[in-house]
Chains A and B, each alone.
Chain A
Amino acid sequence: MIRIDDLHKTYATPRGRFEALRGVSLHVAPGEVFGIIGPSGAGKSTLVQCINMLEQPDQGSIAIGGQALTGLDERSLRGQRRRIGMVFQGFNLLARRTVHGNVALPLEIAGVPARDIPARVDRLLELVGLAHLRDRYPSQISGGQKQRVGIARALANDPDVLLSDEATSALDPETTRNILALLREINRQTGITVVLITHQMEVVRQICDRVAVLDQGRVVEAGATVDVFASPRHAVTRAMVSAATASELSDETLAALRGRIADAAPARPGQAAQLWRMTLAGGDSGALLASLGREHAVALTLVQARVEAVQGVAVGTLFVLAEGAPEALAAARGAAHERHAVVEDVH
């Protein structure tokens, strides 16, 4: 549905050239919910503005549904933009139009006959559950309701693609979940392709089928959300995953464990102690630990564990104190890898 090839964008700033995008390539399949995540300054906003050509890329191509957008003149672009709905972090609702009037705006712009507009707007407000607020002004409704208006407005011209630019970043966690659930529901009902730009891993975890991780203007990792969560390969991804799952050991716990490892070393010659961080997707983490302990001569002590549901699959991060002969520990690590658990040392 969306094909982005080798996109480059450089801005001239007072302090020199800033390369916002340095060769981004992405492919978003029809009907999927695709997340683009990255820390601030990664180039996410530039990328989303390039997708509907609000920003002209310097190099590279963008095609939506087989139609190339790069190279089109402004007039043809305006027509293509109607196929792409956009939702904003700051809602961007007109203060002097009612809820109804705001949703009507894209229809007016597209030249829909005035007599057809009220019925279409009412249907859209029904879809986002705001029919009862149609005559309110934006200042009279909550943030979550404003974003529902934003979503209804983005869907007004029956677009093929819905772009969400940090749509939930200004909302509290519960409202965020509700808005995401609404987006997921609309995606299931209409088959619309959704591209979500976010810096919140929570957002990706809840609704994205696939995710691309953006860092310093490049895609550093992309794949199914479950895979990226279970075995993040890039440092930026790892940092974001652990921030989202809060699966870090506290400094006190870490200090205590280090003390314990140091104390144990002289007492048992030929034995080693290691602190592992194990990340696994699916399966039973308890059973895995038990069988590793049984099959290899190692003692595994669970220090801390957290298991999250990512797209319906249990993804866990375990901190395990592993003790045993160095060879046995290495063998146990190998066995864990075979069962799709990623083991890393915590130092």
Chain B
Amino acid sequence: MNAQMIDLLLASLLETLLMVGASGLAAVVFGVPLGVALVVSDRGAMLQNLPLNRVLGAVVNATRSVPFVILMVAIIPLTRLVAGTSIGTQAAIVPLSLAAIPFMARIAENAMREVDPGLITAARAMGATPAQIIRKVLLPEALPGLVAGATVTLVSLIGYSAMAGAIGGGGLGDLGIRYGYQRFLPEVMLVVVAVLIALVQCIQSLGDWLVRRTSHR
């Protein structure tokens, strides 16, 4: 493997990190509130709103049903609107975010459902507003589950980002396909896979450590 290949590898790694990092951030920033909305609007919950709950649930399910490769090309007009271009790493962040947000929302929803309903009763008995219950009870108590969910989301995003090559997004997956497969350079493919394995391991270990740190069970 020559110096040129190493440069290419580093550049691809950076692209992957950029795509996964930015869309992961979007997943947390938009997915967690969406998860909160799903939980508190459900039947019997503190801000029950079944029409809203059904609509949000349907949108989340629909987005999660579309295969990522199709989602990527189907939303090109939206991508152009948001990123200013429909090609490249920056452009790939838009469909990646759109796929990750509902994924994270479902995970966040499940994490918050695990919170003991007695804690919500206790907070209500203290005279807490729904906003206070969300901020001081629901989210903090679900934090270990949310961290574990964000870890799963990031790992999934690494997988999705390999398909970003389809719209010129670059990244490690794209490198592996173009050099390792199409140019018959199996050693490039091997290195790419090794780097991906290491990356997933790092993220998972970091996530597990954070979960241990944040839960006091």
- Indicate the size class of the contact surface on chain A: 20 to 34
List chain B residues, Cβ under 8 A from A110. Answer: 126-127
Binding-face segment, B31-39, B71-79, B133-141: B133-141
Q: Is B201 an interface residue (CB 8 A)?
A: no
> Contacting A82 at CB < 8 Å: which of B126, B141, B214, B216?
B126
Write the chain A residue with the least CB distance to B120: A92
Chosen A-B contacts, 9 in total, with CB atoms closer than 8 Å, are A80-B127, A81-B127, A92-B118, A92-B122, A94-B140, A96-B144, A97-B140, A109-B132, A110-B126
A81 near B126 with CB under 8 A, answer: yes
User: Complex: how many Å from CA A216 to CA B140?
Assistant: 40
**Complex CA distance for A205 and B191, rounded to whole angstroms:** 76
Q: Do B217 and A139 touch (CB < 8 A)?
A: yes
A241 within 8 A of B: no
Query: What 5 pairs across the A-B complex have the smallest Cβ distances?
Result: A81-B127, A137-B216, A92-B122, A78-B127, A92-B118
Contacts A78-B127, A86-B125, A105-B126 given: A94-B132 contact, CB under 8 Å?
no
Residues of B within 8 A of A82 (CB): 126-127
User: Is A229 an interface position by the 8 A CB rule?
Assistant: no
Could you tell me the dominant secondary structure of chain B's interface residues?
helix
Q: Known: A96-B216, A139-B217. Is A52-B125 also a contact (CB below 8 A)? A: yes
In the complex, what distance in Å separates the CA atom of A137 from the CA atom of B124?
Answer: 22
With A94-B140, A139-B216 known as contacts, the answer to whether A78 contacts B122 (CB < 8 A) is no
A45-80 vs B, Cβ < 8 Å mask (1 yes, 0 no):
000000010100000000000000000000001111
For A86, the chain B residues whose CB sits under 8 A away are 122, 125-126
Q: Which residue of A lies closest to B137 (CB)?
A: A94
Interface string of B81-93 (1 = CB under 8 A from A): 0000000000000
Known contacts A86-B122, A92-B118; can you find 18 more A-B pairs with CB under 8 A?
Answer: A52-B125, A54-B125, A78-B127, A78-B128, A88-B122, A90-B118, A92-B122, A94-B137, A94-B141, A95-B215, A96-B144, A106-B127, A108-B132, A109-B123, A109-B128, A109-B136, A110-B127, A140-B216
| Interface positions of A (Cβ within 8 A of B) | 52, 54, 77-82, 84, 86, 88, 90, 92, 94-97, 105-106, 108-110, 137-140, 157
- The answer on a CB contact under 8 Å between B143 and A96 is yes
Please state if B124 and A94 are interface contacts (CB–CB under 8 Å).
Answer: no
Residues of A within 8 A of B144 (CB): 96
Q: Is the CB of A94 within 8 A of B119?
A: yes
Chain B residues with CB under 8 Å of A78's CB are 127-129
B121 at the interface (CB under 8 A from A): yes
Bitwise, B105-130 to A at CB < 8 A (1) or not (0) is 00000000000101101111111110
- The answer to whether B127 and A95 touch across the interface, beta carbons within 8 angstroms, is no
* Selected contact of B217 from candidates A80, A95, A106, CB within 8 Å: A95
Give A148 to B204 CA distance when docked, in angstroms.
39
Q: What 1/0 flags go to B138-166 for Cβ under 8 Å of A?
A: 00110110000000000000000000000
What per-residue 1/0 map shows which CB atoms of B31-66 lie under 8 Å from chain A? 000000000000000000000000000000000000
**What is the CA–CA distance of A157 and B125 in the complex, to the nearest angstrom?**
12
Instruction: Please report the C-alpha to C-alpha distance between residue A113 and residue B128 in the assembled complex, in whole angstroms.
Output: 16
Instruction: Judge whether A54 and B118 touch: CB under 8 Å.
Output: no
B89 to chain A, nearest CB (A): 37
